[in-house]
A and B are shown apart, each in its own frame.
Chain A
Amino acid sequence: MILKRIYSEPKWSDPFNEFSRLMRLLNTFEAPNRNAYDDAGAGVFPLLNVSSTADHYIVRAELPGIKAGELDIKVTGNNLTLAGERKIPEENNQARYHRREREAGKFSRALTLPGPLNADKVDARLKNGILTIVIPKADEAKPRKISIH
């Protein structure tokens, strides 16, 4: 009699459904605690920060352990491509690892900037594992000051 009543409760008719409802509820609690910088953007390595000044676009990437010669940067039209390979040299084969979190591998990333670029005067610098690329905007894309007569 009691059993019958419990099982006939509509709420419990589908325990899996109930479970997924709870999961959804828990996820909404979790969401605000997510890392505020969890936005991996395009999800392609390397992650980029792009900003613009009146005359330049500045692109920054974190590339620790990469030498300048191992990077291939190309600018065509509005596009910037960044390719290379991160190598982690093999250590002594006697080594026993406690942690191995650093990753090696190839990468290639393309980015379209909002305006035309002056590909002749691109300046790229690698310092302390941070790549900074300064790309001048094409002359026609620069803001022009209009004088009033």
Chain B
Amino acid sequence: MLDKSIELQAKDKKELKASGEQTKPGPVFTPSVDIFETETSLTLLADLPGVSAEGLDIDLHDDTLSIIGNIVPDKAQGETRLLKEFEMGQYSRKFTLSEVIDQAKIKADLADGVLRLNLPKVEKAKPRKITVTGS
């Protein structure tokens, strides 16, 4: 489906427009995500480069899913900046889920800076085929 030969384009990170006040200094970015749904679950993939498992905070409250990724900038001693094309900072993004999620079965996996979050739907929210009987 996707053309394998396409070249990746450099993109600036999207800075989060202030929604609520931040208590931490530094910029906050919105990570790029893929969200897809199957009949049984909702899966979210997010690019969170620099975020370790300890720095990741996933919260599902009512139907709001929030993902916050904290990063610890790594800086060697006596570094002088020569070129700066990207900024590092916290990641934050919130989603409103329309499906009822089975909270006990949520699975989160963070590898190589990519979060894969699997949110299974509760049984009753799964679509059922309804057969219509004619009279």
Contacts and interface: CB of A to CB of B under 8 A. Distances in A.
Interface of A: 35-54, 56-58, 62-67, 86, 88, 90-92, 94-108, 114, 126, 128-130, 132
A125 B99 CA distance: 40
A98 B113 contact: no
A149 B49 CA distance: 51
Interface string B89-121: 000000000000000000000101110000000
Interface of B: 1-2, 4-15, 27, 32-39, 43, 45, 47-52, 74, 76-87, 110, 112-114
Overall SS of chain A's interface: loop
Contacts of A91: 36, 43
B34 A63 contact: no
A99 B34 contact: yes
A46 B43 CA distance: 26
Nearest to B15: A35
A129 B10 contact: no
Contacts of A126: 112
B35 A40 contact: no
A48 B85 contact: yes
A50 B36 contact: no
A99 B42 CA distance: 12
Given A106-B8, A128-B112, A47 B36 contact: no
B6 A50 contact: no
